[in-house]
Copies of this chain bind each other. A is one copy, B any other.
Amino acid sequence: MQRLGIGLIGSGFMGRCHALAFRAASSIFDLPAQPMLELLADVDDEVARRGAEGLGFARSTGDWRVLVADPKVDLVDIAAPNVLHKPIALAAIAAGKPVYCEKPLAPDAAAAKILVDGAEAAGIKTMVGFNYLKNPITGLAREIVSSGEIGEVIGFRGIHAEDYMADPAAPYTWRLEPSGGAGVVTDLGSHIISLARFLVGDIAAVCGHLETIVKERPVGPGAAETRAVEVSDQARCLVRFAGGASGSIEASWVATGRKSQLDYEITGTKGSLAFTQERMNELKLYTLGQPSGREGYKTIVAGPDHPPYADFCPAPGHQLGFNDTKTIEVRDLIVGLADGGAPWPDFREAWEVQRVVDAVVGSARDGRWVGIAEV
């Protein structure tokens, strides 16, 4: 089998998650190429060396440029801090290598567009990490919507709320850098925006409202010195889809008590469905035409009928986990890199998501509806 040399930049939360996914993907799936954990880059040689050892990479480097240039690296995998996404991606494109980048691809749509144009001009395959799209039960939701089982979509409600920044003592981090003021809209909002697009289609316009709840944060853990926060902690927007449906999208990282409230609810003229990430193996479905007195939402439990669940387990109801969705993402990446394939979601899709993010921010700033076409 063909070998695919992975060059991973970053060994933090997401870097580790990627490494686990590459290893699991080759166990779980029958892949067209064998991913090899070839080279790990991190901020310096020592951090990289320890990361490589921990994650099982063959070699390490303190310089991501070395990684991009390495002849055994066939895929540049970016799990580095957001500020590095653009230079690394451009370098990989220049080197003619496919790129797998964690979301958010870029701080704003303009920057994302440069990457899209660069990759497309060079014919480079790309992928961005929106792994919630890869949950089999969300794949079922998409199939139900696109098949017309719930009729024409008239409503969408999407929420991504967590509480990891709710504590005012949580220190300032790179997530709070004022890249357009988006904050949680980029960090969590991009997930629910990508789901909205995946399930319902293009968004035409938004009208948003952003807020910074914790206005000062310690410069570091336990620090007395604080720094002003310029980005949003919670965001809400109304949306209009190109296909005619309307809806709302919310994102918050200060939602006290919520650990993973990534919910969507879709209303159609002939049915409706609802999902929450907190029970990520379940989909609620209502359809017209049930016998009288027996109408109700059914709870569909993920199982072998929902590909690629069966690759993980032959028995229904046994539950997939968060990491499994990343494994499916990596499967889709490797399959997409094979001849004739196209990984998805790619840079263009990430740009489309970022356009919505920018529109929400602009809309909130101006207090009016903003068309995505304006971005």
Give the B-binding residues of A (Cβ under 8 A): 13, 17, 19-20, 23-24, 26-28, 30, 54-56, 140, 150-151, 154-155, 157, 159, 161-162, 164, 166, 207-209, 211, 213, 234, 236-238, 240, 246-248, 250, 252, 254-260, 267-272, 277-280, 285-286, 288, 290, 292-301, 303, 305-306, 312-324, 367-369
Contacts and interface: CB of A to CB of B under 8 A. Distances in A.
Copies of this protein in the assembly total 4
B294 A300 contact: yes
A24 B324 CA distance: 11
A258 B265 CA distance: 11
* A contact face: mostly helix, strand, loop, or mixed: mixed
Contacts of A296: 285, 298-301
A246 B211 contact: yes
Contacts of A303: 259
Contact of A269 (B56, B166, B237, B321): B166
Contact of A256 (B237, B267, B279, B369): B267
A290 B291 CA distance: 13
Contacts of A246: 209, 211, 234, 236
A324 B322 CA distance: 10
B367 A369 contact: yes
Nearest to A257: B286
A307 B279 CA distance: 20
Nearest to A268: B256
